Structure 1
Amino acid sequence: MLTTGPVPVYPEVLQAMGRPVIYDYHPAFQTYYANVIDKLRLAMRTRLAPVIMQGEAILGIEAAAAALIGKSDIVLNLVSGVYGKGFAAWAARYGKEVVELAVPFDEVIDTEAVRQVLRRRPEITVVSVCHHDTPSGTLNPLAEIGKVVAEHGAYLIVDAVSSFAGLDVHPDAVDADIFITSPSKCLGASPGLSLISVSERAWQKIEANGDAPRGSFLSLLGWKDASEPGRSFPVTPSISEIYGLDAALDRYFSEGAENVWARHAQTAAIMRDGLRQIGVQLWPKREEWCAPTTTAFRVPEGWSDAALRDRLLDDHGILVSLGRGETAGKVLRVGHMGSSAEPSFARAAVKALDEILSNRTST
């Protein structure tokens, strides 16, 4: 299963999720939960304790918009793909105005263009960006964007769902005020949680925002300091998912973060090199824009995306993802995340594609 998420769950994660579910207010679970939060903090390399929301990462992304964006905020939404584009709907729901800086979906955001927009519109208070938009297979220059946004004094919301733990990206290092990721991508766990880092100044803004959700499933504030002794959970935690996240974090630390990143990068490089050798064109215009966690390639002439996807699955047992939105029908996507980030899998995918394209050139 070489899809772009969810990915095949590591065996030790599945085993952990099969443990008995205990009462969430049992002191043993509350201590355990606090330990998981601290492991996540260490993995994210952030000073403040992150929060875990009980739903897949789209919950965290919407919750970030609802909490941080107030009625007077003007949001600069950076768009280089389907998911970046989609954030505008939430930004518009909660803010005063949304300004869009968009590039073609086979390109990445230019940092200087961000700087110029902020100079023209100094009243912009929030900037949002998707680091790695999987339907495009591109990786935006997040650290550079973060510096520009920090210089401007705006708040930065980062969708790092498909990049965190697959490469060297951490919230404090990229000046992110809210940084959302998922256990179901590069950590190799299941898709039931949102993992969110919030900066100190972002918490202050959220607490001052009278429209930020309170007493709601969307409430970031409800989960703030939920791991502290004596604090109550706003809703019942997804206990089995917490077990799985804990095992995934243990595996990440055991392999070593740098080794995990190197494995992802090596797998993607082998995939890209193999595609070049068999004459298949990458979707991003420049290879340096390609993400190490997804390889998106253009559907060869004479084929439909679904037909080629089905041949890979039916003849070779390899499942990949179709494009989405503006990339639908134009690309296929091979995920290199978590347990799928193995060089042998990339070689197998290239070999299968070569056999299919060599034996039949049209559908």
Structure 2
Amino acid sequence: MLPIPPLMLTTGPVPAYPQVLAALGRPILYDYDPAFQSFYADVIEKLRLALRQGTAPVIMQGEAILGIEAAAAALIGRDDVVLNLVSGVYGKGFANWAARYGKEVVELAVPYDDIIDPQAVREALRQRPDITIVSLCHHDTPSGTLNPLNEIGAVVAEHGAFLIVDAVSSFGGMDVHPREAHVDIFITSPSKCLGSTPGLSLISVSERAWAKIEANPDAPRGSFLSLLGWKGASEPGKPFPVTPSIAEIYALDAALDLYAGEGAENVWARHAETAEITRNGLLELGLKLWPKKLEFCAPTTTAFKLPDGFSDTALRDRLRDEHGILLSLGRADTAGKLLRIGHMGASAKPDFARAAITALSQILSRPLGQTHP
């Protein structure tokens, strides 16, 4: 029997909405049933509207890391020079795929408590006019920082390069959309701010990116990594390249209905309010935020430095064991240096933020080594 989960204020997966969990229990249809194909086309249209994109998005059948790797494999050709913008763990990691498929990877990096300056991107492109692709992680959750995507996108568009963006933990929690930010491949996840389950990659591809992918002889075809295989998969009579994760599609459908029903602007406001309460509460406790400036903080994750005398695992475990609240540890370069409070989807509620701050206050008010009675 599974244990009763704590209040999950983690950075993903996050708690799924009850309506999403109920949708997982719908009867499984045959993927070639016209009824399912019509339903799938409706979900694609709901997703397109949520993304505010003109082209039909792609849904790949695997957690968002699949979509990120697939984007690299599809768009980056053997003659491409990639500028990889690094402000955190996930931004750094994209270089592995870029190097696998491209000619050269140029890195523009900042410390992991900082963000990418659009003018630094402009200068990097000026120095290397042969750069054809730029890659960016919008919100790097291991740091809790948020890069200025719209400004960076404008610079990249002016240069004429293609832009790949990991928006896994930002889309749905703030006002960010691929077309407005000049993004050519925009990858996100249903299991973060949309409050669904972590089995799909949601990908928006611009018209010019599709043209480049189709002209790239090395873009995967007949592969689980193939973006091309899913292009137009919602069109009547077109077969799916592999069996879609039908229950996950049901869950996504429910999540998109919730997003539209609450209203995107209201969802973003709820995330922003929860983040503000969290940050203010941490500062009132005398704790320090990980990002070097308040304006660098994301509205979907708050990362804070460990208080003196606490290890990351000790503080996390006390929060879980004594108060039933689970936070996330750091990752890679931020591991052992901070804890992260996620406020995405169903966990983006002001009362949950207040509960986390109250629990931290109680723990910090007791002498080290003294546990809750």
Query: Identity, % of aligned pairs?
Result: 76
Question: For structure 1, which runs of at least 5 residues remain unmatched after alignment?
Answer: none
Partner of 2:354: 347
1:97 alignment partner, one of 100, 104, 114: 104
The residue aligned with 2:4 is none
| Alignment-derived partner of residue 276 in structure 2 | 269
Compute the RMSD of aligned alpha carbons: 0.7
> Matched residues in 2 for 1:308 and 1:24: separation?
47
Deviation per residue, 1:203-241 (Å, 9 max, x gap): 000000000000000000000000001111000000000
Q: What letter corresponds to residue 118 of structure 2 in structure 1? A: T
* Distance across 1 between alignment mates of 2:13 and 2:253: 17
1:83 to 79, 84, 90: 90
Q: What CA deviation, in whole Å up to 9, does each residue of 1:13-46 have, x standing for no partner?
A: 0101100101000000000000000000000000
Counterpart in the other structure of 2:125: 118
Q: How far apart in 2 are the matches of 1:189 and 1:360?
A: 40
Q: Alignment partner for residue 266 of structure 2, among 250, 253, 259?
A: 259
Name the structure 2 match of 1:132: 139
The residue matched to 2:325 in structure 1 has which SS?
coil
Aligned to 1:293: 300
Q: Deviations over 1:299-324 (max 9, x none)?
A: 11111000000000000000000000
Residue 320 of structure 2 aligns to a residue in which SS?
helix
Q: Which residue of 2 aligns with 1:192?
A: 199
Q: Does the Cα contact within 8 Å between 1:303 and 1:362 map onto a contact in 2?
A: no
- Residue in 1 that maps onto 2:158: 151
From 165, 168, 177, the equivalent of 1:170 is: 177
Please report the TM-score for the alignment, with normalisation by the length of structure 2. Answer: 0.97
**Counterpart in 1 of 2:229?**
222
TM-superposed CA distance for 1:362, in Å, is 6.2
Measured in 1, the distance between the counterparts of 2:123 and 2:170 equals: 26
Residue by residue, what CA displacement relative to the aligned partner does 1:160-190 show, whole Å, maximum 9, x if unpaired?
0000000000000100000000000000000
CA distance in 2, matches of 1:92, 1:360: 50
Task: In structure 2, give the amino acid aligned to 1:9.
Answer: A
Number of the residue aligned with 2:336:
329
Hey, what does 1:14 align to over in structure 2? 21
| Secondary structure of the corresponding residue to residue 237 of structure 2 | coil
**Which 5+ residue runs of structure 2 have no aligned equivalent?**
1-7
Q: How many residues align?
A: 363
Which of 309, 315, 332 is residue 316 of structure 2 equivalent to? Answer: 309
Distance 2:194 2:306 in 1: 29
Give 2:168's match in structure 1, choosing from 161, 173, 176. 161
- Extract structure 1 runs of 4+ deviating beyond 2 A: 360-363
